Structure formats: structure tokens, C-alpha cells
């Protein structure tokens, strides 16, 4: 198993990509700390982790709170040790042109998507440096690489995550620590489905799939598999990368 004997803390683990990563990492031998502002969701994820035969714990966590993030990391290190940090918690916003997005909504997105990743990295870096190893995986987005019309605040935040990841990688590499980002295309999770009925979402998926060379949208396991690779020793000489996982959309 690729993560046997390792511990991963995953934010936004109560649903979507975070939950998929948590259960996949557990199936590969990792102990999982599932952190989410939705404690019930995180607990449900840990139930799945335990069904996979691994230990884990659920933590209620608002990634905007730097002190709370540091406390969660410190508790994880004390209880289990820590080898992998997946800074995945994120939010989006209703589609609108830049001039139509108010400051409050912009700041909400930046606080979670940018400050949350900053807080997660800042909390784990000293521990990883001290032990001389560790893998950080941040969730960016295809929107952070090529932009996305009417998702200005989201694109801004995810572009920041991709570039910040490169900075972190350059700083921590000499200590034996790696940092990479995944940049998903549209993936079938609750975020893009928000506000749509099942029928509307299925129609949207069909319409959007036409623009992808692989003729489908992403599934959560597609992104979780990329996270697993970057977190594993198989990626031991990969750092500072923003891995686009988009079914070919960006090359079409």
C-alpha cells in the first residue's frame, strides 16, 4: 500500500473531493484526520475510513481561523504524527461579472480558498521541516490556471493557490519537504451542482462534456487519484507543480 504507516490531515474532508481523498488514502494504508467546518460530514467520512480498516479522527475546523488550524495540526502530530497535508477546503460563488461581485462575497471566497491554504501550509511546515519529510497537496483549480468567465473571485483565489504552492515548494524543498497543487476541471461534486435539480445537472453535464476531449466531466476519484500520486513516494522528485486534471479541456 502506497501510504502505509503515514498520517494525512485533509481539510474539506466532510464531502466531495476531500471525502474521496480521505477514503482513497485510507484504502492505501493512511491514518486520516478529516477536518471540516461541517463536523457531521467529517464524522461520516471517518466512518468510511474505519470501514476501510484504518484509524482516523474527525475535527470541526474553520480553515480561516489560523489558531484553530495550528491547534488541529498540533493535536494530529501529538496523537498520530503527520506526513501529508491536503489543503482542500474551498468555496465558490454565484456566476457574475467582476463588476457585479461585491466586496463581501469576494472576501468570503479569498478568506477560505487563499487564507485557508496559507494557514494549512504555515501550520504544517515547521513540523515537516523538523522531521525532514512531508508532502503538501493544495487544491487549486483549472480556473486558477486559465481563468473562468463570471468566476472572477474564484479564479483569483485559485490562481493564488497555484502560485503560492510554487513558493512553498521552493522554500521547503531543501528540508526534504514537497508541495504540489492539483487543478481540477469541472468535477461532479456538490459545488457545481449547487442550485440545480438532478435533471438540470444531468443536462448541464451532457452539454459541458462536449467541450472535453475525453467527453465527460471529472469524477471525484479522478482528482483523488492525482492527490494520492502527489502525496505518495511515487512523486518523490515532483514538487512545485500545478497538476491539471481536466479531461483535456485546457488543450482543446
Domain limits for position 200: 7-245
Residue 129 lies in a domain: yes
Residue 75 lies in a domain: yes
Residue 250 lies in a domain: no
- What pTM does this model have? 0.95
pLDDT at 126 over 90: yes
pLDDT at 166 over 80: yes
Residue 2 lies in a domain: no
Residue 193 lies in a domain: yes
Task: Kindly give the pairing relationship between strand 84-87 and strand 134-139.
Answer: parallel
Residue 127 lies in a domain: yes
Q: Is residue 10 a contact partner of residue 25, using CB atoms and an 8 Å limit?
A: yes
Biggest CA pair distance of the chain: 51
Range 174-188 average pLDDT: 96
CA angle, 87 then 23 then 155, to 5°: 35
Domains of the chain: total: 1
Residues 6+ away with beta carbon under 8 Å from 2? 28, 29, 228, 232, 233, 234
β-partners of residue 135 are 84, 178
Q: What are phi and psi of 185, to 5 degrees?
A: -75, -170
Q: In the structure grid, which three cell numbers stand for residue 83, read together?
A: 506526513
Q: In the structure grid, which three cell numbers stand for residue 237, read together?
A: 522528485
For the domain that residue 198 is a member of, what is the CATH number?
3.40.50.720
pLDDT at 22 over 90: yes
Separation of alpha carbons 216 and 186, rounded Å: 10
Q: In the structure grid, which three cell numbers stand for residue 102, read together?
A: 461585491
What is the number of helices (H) and of strands (E) in the chain?
10, 7
> Does the annotation count 154 as an active-site position?
yes
pLDDT tens-digit map of 190-247:
778 777 888 888 888 888 899 899 999 999 999 999 999 999 999 999 999 999 999 9
Residue 189 lies in a domain: yes
Mean of pLDDT over the chain: 96
pLDDT tens-digit map of 72-105:
999 999 999 999 999 999 999 989 999 999 999 9
Residue 1 lies in a domain: no
Amino acid at each position: 500500500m502506497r501510504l502505509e504507516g503515514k498520517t494525512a490531515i485533509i481539510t474539506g474532508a466532510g464531502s466531495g473531493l476531500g471525502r474521496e481523498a480521505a477514503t482513497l488514502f485510507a484504502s492505501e494504508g493512511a491514518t486520516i484526520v478529516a477536518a471540516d467546518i461541517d463536523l457531521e460530514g467529517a464524522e461520516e467520512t471517518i466512518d468510511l475510513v474505519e470501514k476501510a480498516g484504518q484509524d482516523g479522527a474527525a475535527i470541526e475546523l474553520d480553515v480561516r481561523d489560523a489558531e484553530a488550524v495550528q491547534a488541529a495540526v498540533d493535536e494530529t502530530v501529538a496523537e498520530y504524527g503527520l506526513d501529508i497535508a491536503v489543503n482542500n477546503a474551498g468555496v465558490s460563488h454565484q456566476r457574475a461579472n467582476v463588476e457585479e461581485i461585491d466586496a463581501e462575497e469576494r472576501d468570503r471566497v479569498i478568506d477560505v480558498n487563499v487564507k485557508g491554504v496559507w494557514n494549512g501550509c504555515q501550520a504544517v511546515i515547521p513540523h515537516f521541516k523538523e522531521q525532514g519529510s512531508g508532502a503538501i497537496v493544495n487544491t487549486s483549480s483549472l480556473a486558477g490556471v486559465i481563468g473562468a468567465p463570471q468566476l472572477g473571485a474564484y479564479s483569483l483565489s485559485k490562481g493564488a493557490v497555484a502560485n503560492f504552492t510554487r513558493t512553498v515548494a521552493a522554500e521547503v524543498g531543501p528540508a526534504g519537504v514537497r508541495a504540489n497543487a492539483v487543478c481540477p476541471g469541472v468535477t461532479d461534486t456538490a459545488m457545481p451542482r449547487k442550485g440545480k435539480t438532478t435533471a438540470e445537472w444531468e443536462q448541464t453535464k451532457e452539454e459541458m462534456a462536449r467541450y472535453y476531449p475525453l467527453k465527460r466531466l471529472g469524477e471525484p476519484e479522478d482528482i483523488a487519484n492525482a492527490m494520492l500520486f502527489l502525496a505518495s513516494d511515487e512523486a518523490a522528485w515532483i514538487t512545485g507543480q500545478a497538476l491539471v486534471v481536466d479531461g483535456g479541456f485546457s488543450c482543446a
